[in-house]
Structure 1
Amino acid sequence: MKISYKWLKELIEITETPEEIGRLLTATGLEVESIEEIESIKGGLQGVVIGQVLTCEKHPEADRLSLTTVDAGGENPLSIVCGAPNVAAGQKVIVATVGAMLHPTGSDQPLVLKKSKIRGALSEGMICAEDELGLGSSHDGILVLDTTLPNGTPASEYFGISSDYLIEIGLTPNRADAASHYGVARDLKAVLGRPVTLPSVEEFAVASQQLPITVEVKNQDACPRYTGLTISGIKVGESPQWLKDRLQTIGIRAINNIVDITNYVCHELGQPMHAFDAEKVIGNKVVVTTVADGTPFITLDGVERKISGSDLMICNAGSNGVPEPMCIAGVFGGLTSGVTSDTTSIFLESAYFSPAWVRKTAQRFTLKTDSSFRFERGTDPNMPLFALKRAALLIQEIAGGTVSSEITDIYPQPVEDFRVAMSYKHINRLIGKTLDKTLIKSILESLDIQVADENESSFTAIVAPYRVDVQREADVIEEILRIYGFGQVELSETLSSDFLSDFPVNDPEKLKLRVAELLVANGFNEMINNSLTKPEYQVLMSESLAGNPVKILNYLSEDLSVMRQTLLFSGLEVIAYNSNRRQKDLKVFEFGNTYHQINEKYVEKERLAVFVTGNIAQESWFEKSRETVFHDLAAFVNKVLTAVKIREVEKQQADPAIFKQGLTLLSNRKPVVSFGLLNAALSKKLDVKAPVYFADFDWEYMLRQYNAAVEYKEVSKFPEVRRDLSVVVNKKVTFEELRQIAYKTERQLLRSVNVFDVYEGANLEGKKSYSISFILQDDQQTLTDKVIDKSMQRLMAAYEREFEALIRK
């Protein structure tokens, strides 16, 4: 929201500087984002004066240049070289002296005048043309003045240059009431205790009834109030300078005096308005209604738009009795019904439209205008009539003409004030300080909020409908506090605060359920096995198990005489049972406890076991059956780790006593999971002949590592770079070893390392070839070839040093 400091001063007495006003507004909730001095001519023509050409001779070295002496009001005349064809002795001219800063038309760069030599002749300034001063676009010659002002008079006085301050407010969506100079003045009234003075409309009078235009509002839900009148005998033309300056200050381009006045009133009072060429109002009737879905309509910008049946339109009677659209109500005018230079009479509209209707229409057409900005947030339903009279008086003053119809004011169901029940106790509780009742009432009345039905503990606040954001007790209390001042509420010695944010405690059961649902969604079945098992199972892998088995003192069976130390064997029993019944393709998992006797202490641990055997995919018409491989299990393991937010892991070879091929993943140097293809000797002990892939998770440790908080890192705006290497190393060297050395060597730029090809052959006896890709990225700048090559040289040197690698270059 852009506010003119000078304009504001016409509505309320202001002795404070723009900066002080900015601080006051910010303290009340209208955050001032910037304050900028605005001049009607950029730079204010500082250092530019009126002068008189004393002598004018041809330059001896250039036919198109003249040597002049100019009286610019100083002690001595100035020598100026001039290239204008119309320069002559005796002329009154505009002179830019040395040091002046000009802002020529069409140039973004200022021009600073310096003393110089042009073709050997001294030039101590410049005699200016219109475009060089930023006054227009003409460069046909220098400006020749008809004035008796003395030489040396500042050009700013001659041209009547004005300056103002633009106060830009970051208006929040709830403060629609402050979307005008009047609205901002109301807040200053409450803070400063000074009255707001609106322009008088007492002189408004209807001169005749020569151009009556009737109005019919067919959709009163969308248009609760509609006012209008006609003005005849106007002359459309350029607006006076004061009006253009006002609009220019707040960033609005002047169009013509009628349109400029409607824009002026909109930004003065917050009431959007529209002027129609009265001759284009067919049948001398305005109809506020909706039209048929898909009706074409050309808006002021020359674009044809298809009107929806839920868009409110301002129409005329139409030539065939069907209303013809002239304007999208509250959003955008039509191309054919607007004011032009030929217009001599107008119908002036000032209305209150439903915010919901305007908002939906503006969003549908992606049109954001000054009008829709205000209507869709909620305007003052009591303002249309006053604004209509204000605009009519300005039009008569600037464009001539007379009011040629009575005012039409259709307002069948007036919008009522909001009535809010208030409690002094609640006011003091929410503010955090006990305020005097007289002070509370004074603040409310300064905000045009009336106090009624008052007693010792409560009252009713009557809020005008233009405050669409003040309808609850908390809203009224906020109004009191922002005017009283947040800074005046002292902090208590026992400061406390309430949190709206949720800080959930990690629920182990919920996390377990999430992982279980993840596995089930990937085709697994959950199993629940007995914690009692056979003692001979523990003997099969005793060296790989922690501590000793926990024996049962009064066991019922030798087969159930110890507590299990691993979930492996109970899972293999399930696989054997199903395989013997021709169910060979299995994916199963179990959450269960293991039990250990370690140094005379009994230890219970919760773990997660995952088993996959047989075909990973069933045979179908679009896919052949396929046996499970190591990477199928690795994919499931990664999904589980991702679900519990464990990402940074180290890899090492899994226990060969358990796995024929497998990996152990470590987080913070502690094992999280071991997985791979089971040794056939173990599975055959339980009569399982098919290969079994097994993953053993330390579920307790994973729970301790889990953090529900979401970590976010800003995405780099600089591109990543890929470089590939072919590395020949001893066949015993694993890719994991190569990957770790890469990260240790290039800590700053290396983002990822990936192997995309492995080759072993007779021509590489005892060796193996890895094709590796490296992703490099700098978060601060774009990588150059020099930096990339340096990083790759370091990586190659590290491989050659650590593994005696042969790099294929």
Structure 2
Amino acid sequence: MLISYDWLQELIQINKPAAEVAALLTGAGLEVEGLYPYERVKGGLQGIVIGEVLTCEKHPDADKLRLTTVDVGGETPKQIVCGAPNVAVGQKVVVATEGATLYPFTGEPFQIKKSKIRGAASEGMICAEDEIGLGESHAGIMVLDTDLPNGTPAAQYFNLQSDEIFEIGLTPNRADAASHLGVARDVQALLRVPYTLPNVDSFQINTTSRHISVEVLDSEACPRYAGLTISGVKVAESPEWLKHRLRAIGLSPINNVVDITNFVLHELGQPMHAFDADKITGDKIIVQKAKEGTKFVTLDGVERTLRSTDLMICNAEEPMVIAGVFGGKNSGVTSETTTIFLEAAYFQPASIRKSSQIHGIKTDSSFRFERGTDPDRVILALKRAALLVQEIAGGEVSSEIVDVYPQPVQPFTVKVSIARINQLIGQPIGQERIKEILTDLGISITEESETELALSVPPFKVDVQREADIVEEILRIYGYNNIALSPNLATSYLAKFPKPDPEVIKQSMGQMLAGAGYSEIITNSLTNSNYYEVAGGEPDASLVRIVNYNSADLDVLRQTLVFSGLEVLRHNMNRRQKDLKFYELGKVYVKAGDKYQEKTQLALFVTGNATAETWQQASQKATFHQLAGVVQNLFTKLTRDQMNVQPVEHRYIKNGVTYYRNEVPMVQMGLLNESITKKLDVKEPVWYAELNWDYLIRNYSNNLVAEELAKFPEVRRDLSLVIDKNITFEQIKTIAWRTERKLLQQLNVFDVYEGDKIEAGKKAYAMSFILQDKQQTLTDKVIDSTMNRLMQQFERQLGAVIRK
């Protein structure tokens, strides 16, 4: 977005250099990405002055040249050879002095040098309009009517004030600043210098002879629509001042009426459109959604297919404009236009954004409408444009202002805590200063206490609707650089970190288990006390007994999920469903003395085949390691803690392990005892895991750690160890990690052998070791040394025999 400093000063008087204002705006969130000088005429007429022709004689050696002396304000006149037929004594002329660079209207720039023309010295150049870039005429030299003294810079005569242009990188949340008025509002808050709105007090309705009615059929997409007619308009070229304003911000002038709508857009931030009133069939404007598939030719000559979501400005017969986006080919003013209908509206941003994206059209109007304009500036903009049209293009206002605004857009109401403001800013800045900033920004204080402010935020601040937004507004005006840094390094967390939501974790866990082929079961918390007698006689005192008149069999609350899960397995197996994977997350209950304990467990059941029979492979029975792999994946989602692994000690499980953390059993898993499964008529082996869900949730930790990819390669070395059968992989792993913490990245068993080729009571492990140094490439010497230390520890602590 480009903002003219000269134009800005028409709205607010600033007694600071443009560079200083740029720094202030950047600090306030309007980042000035560039500050550029703008010259109405390229070169700014530097070195070009007003002179007076003192003498004019025929050149002795050229019939078409004149030999002149010109007073340019120096000690002595300059001799200049001139070829213009209209040069004469006593004229005030434009003179390019030696060293000046001229930028002609067409052609390349050139520098004026002292030279000889047909043998006569020439110390400058008397200029025509096109030679200095002021116009296209080359009929003769420019003859000025002025009393300015000789030597006066020509830029002064032509009123070529210099300007500086701010290039602002406007962020999406600052739609309120997408105009010179919007920037002026920020400058006003920063410098506490009042800005002034354009004066429209002279606006009046001259006649009501040309009324155009307005009907809004979609007030949600178009909350406000206003317009008026101006008759007797003469469409022509814009005056120089208006063209200068538009060119300064990168726009090309078109004609006086269109240029005025663009001028008001960039001055007040209100997009407008001027219709040729004679093309509004039926003298009626209808604002409505388009019919799906309607063909519409836009101003650029492209035929577009309208969607039912497109908001259109129509006459009584056909659409004329894609509202807020782009005009139709036959909707705009032309040189034959004599009566115009000026439109100013407020459109719902989402509606304009959708049409702009669907048709791939980005305009200055859509840029502002789709971010949010000011509904309270519609009438001001309309009157401002009407006055400018009358001043520049003539005519008279020939209708009342039609303003369709059934439900006025209300200000946002926000409550803010003074303590929260100070916390987010990082230091107290005083309640009076807070109120001062808010008031300067146009935010009204409706209620006030020592601890809280109730605020009314004007609709043009579309992105200021929460407490945090108010704090941002205060801080950007107060100044980020005014926040003192602590002398000590510290961090304060602005946001509260909520405890993990057990329901979210449960859902995530369920998705993971479902992906692994497990189905969820939900069983009754009431069960039969006889199950516990089967299990070896749980003391009666620990059972939570229930007086259940409906079913004498369901007389206790369950102490484990094992039996209810086995009942589900039996039910499915009796219906010839034998390959089963179930999980249940449920409550269990225990009585301890005169108190009752309620716990949550996660139980996993696996029985039958783990993989189905196919032409590629035979079916495979479920194994302990397949269940253990799922449990390991659950741990990855629930905790990052290291755990101790021991053989299982559970009254219902054998041939398994228990994972401990801080001596608390986290999971116990293995094969369910046959005595229990057979009693419940489950004839197949059942692998079972029981997780302490309450403890896992209390100690939930799933903070991912990101590391840079290692630059140096891994190295793999294999070992074959012959060890006693009672030695576990966990023991080997513990010794390995204790021996080598830095280089060892991973170890794995890829083959196990038990047979007649080795000693009875022994087993052979084939193991792989992955080594890596993240600082340098490993050498053979370091690798061999590391592996030797590992082998020595295996031999010493486990009595292992290394097979070489």
User: TM-score if structure 2 supplies the norm length?
Assistant: 0.62
**Kept after mapping to 2: 8 A contact 1:672/1:697:** no
Q: In the TM superposition, what is the alpha-carbon distance from 1:88 to its structure 2 partner?
A: 6.0
| Matched residue SS, 1:173 | coil
Partner of 1:361: 355
Q: Over residues 80-123 of structure 1, what are the superposed CA-to-partner deviations in whole Å (9 max), with x where a residue is unaligned?
A: 3445566566654322000212222245x643322234455432
1:787 is matched with: none
Residue by residue over 1:528-567, the C-alpha shift from the partner in whole angstroms, topping out at 9 and shown as x without a partner, is xxxxxxxxxxxxxxxxxxxxxxxxxxxxxxxxxxxxxxxx
Q: Which residue is equivalent to 1:416? A: 410
Residue of structure 2 equivalent to 1:384: 378
CA contact (8 A) 1:645 1:706 kept: no
- Are residues 369 and 79 of structure 1, via their aligned partners in 2, closer, same or farther at CA, if it must alter by over 3 Å? same
Question: Shift in Å at residue 224 of structure 1?
Answer: 0.7
Q: Which amino acid aligns with 1:133?
A: I
Structure 2 partner of 1:175: 174
Q: Structure 2 vs 1, CA of residues 432 and 671 (structure 1 numbering), >3 Å: closer, same or farther? A: closer
3-state DSSP of counterpart to 1:264: helix
| Contiguous gaps of at least 5 residues in structure 2 | 498-512, 517-614, 629-644, 646-706, 720-741, 758-764, 777-804
1:325 aligned partner, one-letter code: P
Is contact 1:299-1:305 (8 Å) kept?
A: yes
1:44 is matched with 44
Residue of structure 2 equivalent to 1:129: 128
User: Partner residue of 1:691?
Assistant: none
Partner residue in 2 for 1:295: 294
Per the TM alignment, residue 23 of structure 1 is displaced from its structure 2 partner at its CA by 2.1
Alpha carbons of 1:652 and 1:199: their partners in 2 closer, same or farther (altered >3 Å)?
A: closer
CA spacing shift, 1:31–1:670, aligned 2, 3 Å: closer
483, 487, 496: which one aligns with 1:489: 483
Q: 5+ residue gaps in structure 1? A: 319-323, 503-516, 521-580, 593-603, 605-642, 656-668, 687-694, 708-809
Q: Which position in structure 2 is the counterpart of 1:426?
A: 420
Instruction: Give 1:345 deviation, angstroms.
Output: 0.7
For residues 151 and 442 of structure 1, what CA distance do their matches in structure 2 show? 53
1:532 equivalent in structure 2: none
> 1:415-454 residue pairs with structure 2 within 5 A?
415-454=409-448
Residue 73 of structure 1 and its aligned partner are, at CA, apart by: 3.5
Letter matched to residue 50 of structure 2: I
Show the counterpart of 1:769: none
Matches within 5 A, 1:396-407: 396-407=390-401
**What RMSD in Å do the two structures reach over aligned CA positions?**
4.6
Q: Is the 8 A contact 1:56 1:88 kept in 2?
A: no
Summarize deviations over 1:305-352 as a string: whole Å, max 9, x none. 22222111111111xxxxx11111111112212111111111000000
Q: In the alignment, which residue of structure 1 is the partner of 2:463?
A: 469
C-alpha distance in 1 between matches for 2:715 and 2:83: 81
SS state of the match for residue 167, structure 1?
strand
2:93 corresponding residue in structure 1: 93
SS of the residue corresponding to residue 347 of structure 1 reads: strand
Task: Please state how far the C-alpha of 1:672 moved relative to its aligned partner.
Answer: 8.7
1:456 to 450, 454, 462: 450
> Residue type of the partner of 1:57?
K
8 Å contact from structure 2 (residues 352, 370) kept in 1: yes
Give the match's secondary structure for 1:55.
Answer: strand
What secondary structure, in the 3-state scheme, does the structure 1 residue paired with 2:376 have? coil
- Aligned equivalent of 1:343: 337
> Secondary structure, in 3 states, of the residue corresponding to 1:45?
coil
Map 1:192-591; keep pairs closer than 5 Å.
192-318=191-317, 324-497=318-491
**Cα distance in 1 for residues equivalent to 2:484 and 2:302:** 57
Check the 8 A contact 1:56/1:89 in 2, yes or no: no
Q: Distance in 2 between matches of 1:706 and 1:191?
A: 52
Residues in 1 aligned to 2:717 and 2:414: alpha-carbon distance in whole angstroms: 72
- Give the secondary structure class of the aligned counterpart of 1:483: helix
Deviation at 1:443, TM superposition (A): 1.6
Quote the Cα distance in structure 2 between the aligned partners of 1:582 and 1:451: 76
Call closer, same or farther: CA 1:89–1:698 in 2, change over 3 Å. farther
Once the 2 structures are TM-superposed, how far is the Cα of residue 65 of structure 1 from its aligned partner? 5.6
Between the aligned partners of 2:747 and 2:711, the Cα distance in structure 1 is 15
1:724-758 CA-partner distances (Å, limit 9, x unpaired): xxxxxxxxxxxxxxxxxxxxxxxxxxxxxxxxxxx
Once the two structures are TM-superposed, the CA of residue 442 in structure 1 deviates from its matched residue by 1.8
- In structure 2, the partner of 1:28 is 28
Number of the residue aligned with 1:115: 114
- Secondary structure, counterpart of 2:344 in structure 1: strand
Q: Deviations over 1:608-632 (max 9, x none)?
A: xxxxxxxxxxxxxxxxxxxxxxxxx
- Partners of 2:228 and 2:405 in 1: CA distance: 15
Q: Secondary structure at the match of 1:49?
A: strand
Q: How does 1:638-649 map to 2 (within 5 A)?
A: 648-649=712-713
Contact 2:223/2:347 (8 A) holds in 1: yes
Task: Tell me the secondary structure at the aligned position of residue 396 of structure 1.
Answer: helix
CA distance in 1, matches of 2:80, 2:438: 65
Instruction: Return the offset for 1:375.
Output: 0.6
The change in CA–CA distance for 1:644 and 1:44 in structure 2 (over 3 A counts) is: closer
Indicate the larger mover: 26-35 or 378-387: 26-35
- Alignment check: 8 A CA contact 2:718 2:769 kept: no
Map of 1:9 onto structure 2:
9
Alignment partners' CA distance in 2, 1:301 and 1:582: 64
Query: Partner of 2:77 in structure 1?
Result: 77
| Range 415-424 or range 437-446, more displaced | 437-446
Instruction: String of CA shifts for 1:353-406, please: whole Å, max 9, x gaps.
Output: 011111111122222211111111100111111111111122112222111111
C-alpha distance in 1 between matches for 2:716 and 2:123: 83
> What does the per-residue CA deviation read over 1:403-437, in whole Å, with 9 as the maximum and x for residues that have no partner?
11111111111111111121112111111112322
CA contact (8 A) 2:225 2:346 kept: yes
Contact preservation (8 Å) 2:178, 2:269: yes
Equivalents in 1 of 2:309, 2:213: separation in Å? 24
Does the CA contact (< 8 Å) of 1:225 and 1:409 recur in 2?
yes
Cα distance between partner residues in 2 of 1:303 and 1:104 = 36
Contact preservation (8 Å) 2:31, 2:170: yes
- Seen in structure 2, the aligned counterparts of structure 1 residues 386 and 705 have a Cα distance that, compared at 3 Å, is same
- Is contact 1:65-1:81 (8 Å) kept? yes
CA distance in 2 between partners of 1:342 and 1:146 (Å): 35
Q: Closer, same or farther in 2 for the Cα pair 1:204/1:85, shift >3 Å?
A: closer
User: Does the CA contact (< 8 Å) of 1:56 and 1:69 recur in 2?
Assistant: no
Give CA deviations for 1:237-293 in whole Å, capped at 9, x if unaligned: 222222222222222222222111111111111111111010011110001112222
The 3-state SS of whatever aligns with 1:382 is: helix
- How far did residue 64 of structure 1 move? 6.5
> Aligned equivalents of 2:207 and 2:19: distance in 1?
48
Q: Tell me, what secondary structure is at the counterpart of 1:43? A: coil
Change (3 A) 1:49 1:434: closer
Does the 8 A contact of 1:313 with 1:326 survive in 2? Answer: yes
Structure 2: distance between partners of 1:201 and 1:583 = 87
Alignment-derived partner of residue 56 in structure 2: 55
Q: Which residue of 2 aligns with 1:505?
A: none
TM-score normalised by L of structure 1: 0.62
Q: Distance in 1 between matches of 2:766 and 2:458?
A: 69
